[in-house]
Amino acid sequence: MSSIDDLLAGARSTLNRVTPAQAAQLQAEGALVVDIRPHPNRAAEGEIPGSVVVERIHLEWRLAPDSAWRLPGVTTDTTAILVCNEGYASSLAAADLQRLGLPNATDLSGGFRAWAAAGLPVVEGGSDPVP
């Protein structure tokens, strides 16, 4: 069995990870920004405006293009940028989504904290996740 570093490197080898500035530009062009952070983190630190909150345990069902429970409008052409605290869990999750048929899934390098540190907009957190 490989170490977590090997698992993370393997996941990232399939991703075109984006910087906060690139994520903001892609979001402006219609990319879906998906916040997978736990409620306490979102409540304490805030959220990216326009992001969709999907708890990690529901992620594959909400974003797999062939899932009966997917978010409206999600197709194999959807660009989804996953956001966690620092860009680790989101890398693993984005690779999972690629395996499920969402080839344009990726993640935000450095996570939400990199977004905030870059001075990009943040709104009050604690939004309810997609049911």
As a whole number of angstroms, the distance between CA 84 and CA 18 comes to: 13
Nearest to 84 by CA among 125, 118, 124, 42: 42
Q: State yes or no: is 38 an active-site residue.
A: no
Sign of the alpha-carbon torsion through 72, 74, 80, 84: positive
Listed in sequence order, the residues at least 6 apart from 35 whose beta carbon sits closer than 8 Å to its beta carbon are 42, 47, 48, 51, 52, 53, 54, 83, 112
From the list 59, 84, 93, 114, the catalytic residue is: 84
Nearest to 16 by CA among 68, 71, 91, 78: 91
Residues with active-site annotation: 84
